[in-house]
Amino acid sequence: MAITRDLFAARNRAFDTVLELDYPGDELPLTGAIISMQVRLYAGAGGPPIFEQTGITFSDAAIEDEPGWRRLTVEPNFPRSDLEAGTVPTGLNKPEVGEADRFEYEITLTYADSVQETLWTGGFYLQPGVDLT
């Protein structure tokens, strides 16, 4: 069920997005489940992630005009302080001045029985931003 999708953030503001995944069939067993997101320098990078969020807000509901389909909505967010240059490394993938640093992210659903499923994965582009207010 994994979706590959690049995400874009800026160092000068909080990252806040809504991701939706439509799927057919019965409701997922989400009681006691958690959704988390990790951002790393590259896929498979060891050690702690550059930043992460556990306990991401999510919801699951039937799609009214599409019988037999459901929509999982996931809302990851990171405060500006987690994304600033002093917190997140820059220049690791040698971007040109003003270009985004590229990292990799993965959003994982962990069911109550500890079984895990990747929901989204892809590039996490962290742009320098312009407005520093």
CATH code of the domain containing 122: 2.60.40
The pLDDT score that the predictor gives to residue 129 is 75
This prediction has a pTM of 0.89
Q: Is residue 96 part of a domain?
A: yes
Does residue 111 belong to any structural domain of this protein?
A: yes
- For the chain, the domain total comes to 1
Is 86 a domain residue?
yes
Q: Of 87, 117, 115, 118, which is closest to residue 103 (Cα–Cα)?
A: 87
Question: What's the chain's length in residues?
Answer: 133
pLDDT of residue 90: 66
Residue type, 131: D
Within a domain: 133: no
Task: Grade residue 115 by pLDDT with cuts at 50, 70 and 90.
Answer: very high
Q: Say yes or no to pLDDT of 132 above 70.
A: no
Q: Would residue 105 count as lying in a domain?
A: yes
Say if 114 falls within a structural domain: yes
Question: What mean pLDDT, rounded, does the chain reach?
Answer: 90
User: What is the model's pLDDT at position 83?
Assistant: 86
Domain range enclosing 68: 3-127
For residue 132, tell me if it sits in a domain.
no
For residue 26, CA distances in Å to 60, 72, 108 come to 11, 12, 20
